Amino acid sequence: MKRLFSAACAAAALAGSLQAAEITGGSFDLSTSAFADDTDYARTAVGGAVELGFSRSFSTQLDLFYADFNLTDLEGANATLHGIAHVSSTTSLGLFYGIEETGRDEYDFYGIEAGHEFGFADAEFYLGEGDDGAISGTIAGVAFRRDVNSQFTVSAGLDHLDLGNIELTRIAASAQYDVGKGAKFYGELGSLNAEAQNLSGNEAFVGIGFRWDFGGNRGTTFGRRGLVNKLPGL
């Protein structure tokens, strides 16, 4: 994971050298998930993100994520950098680039993204490409989030990744409860249709986690990209 670590350090050093930037939001979370039919296929993960604002209309976001997969003894990690233009108080457009490693496999991914705050819910969309040097494919997703009240939020998302020998479609719904000062507990229920390594066919999964959002934006503008954080277990 030397390349991944170097990319994260370079991004952090760049951020530290930009005196005009200020932290507008960030998050940290711990989670575990497993397939409903066989909990040996599980994942324990930790992730964090920080967003730096340079002006009211431009910011950058750095995501870091690490996962340990139970049954296969694989480890996976990724780092993603977003460049974000806030075109209005309700709409943001972005470009993202990431590096991901799982075992001996490594690939880059990049693409476009957009987010909009509707009156009834917030929506997010991304479209891009993943490339491991020999095979390239499409990554895409959409997500919606709605605040039921000041403490309770529900969300749903659909992700599709077609990376040659790995193809998956992930559908999930989650609910989170805010216990105060940005701390939240959440639960997730979903379905994964996959053709990858030990996975084949359609399987239900469940997950739980703890998340802490900080900053004026109550977290970051965009969610995570890549394959590792979409797999609930291996």
Give residue-wise pLDDT tens across range 158-194.
Answer: 999 998 778 899 999 999 999 999 999 999 999 999 8
Mean pLDDT of the chain, nearest integer = 89
pTM of the shown model: 0.89
With contact defined as beta carbons under 8 Å apart, do 38 and 18 qualify? no
List pLDDT tens digits, range 72-103: 878 999 999 999 999 999 999 999 999 999 87
Asked if 203 and 196 touch (Cβ cutoff 8 Å), the reply is no
| Length in residues, the chain | 234
DSSP string for residues in 126-174: EEEEEE-SS-EEEEEEEEEEEESSSSEEEEEEEEEEE-SS-EEEEEEEE
2-230 CATH? 2.40.160.40
The C-alpha angle 7, 4, 222, rounded to 5 degrees, equals: 75
Report pLDDT digits (tens) over 112-158.
999 999 989 999 999 999 987 777 899 999 999 999 999 999 999 99
- Residue among 7, 18, 37 at smallest CA distance from 198: 37
List the beta strands (DSSP E) in 3-104: 22-35, 42-53, 58-69, 75-86, 91-102
Q: What are the CA-CA distances from residue 101 to residues 149, 182, 215 (Å)?
A: 38, 30, 29
Burial of 215 (0-12, 13-18, 19+ CB in 10 A): middle
- Give residue 201's pLDDT band: very low, low, confident or very high (50, 70, 90): confident
CB atoms within 10 A of CB 8: 20
| Domain definitions of the chain by residue range | 2-230
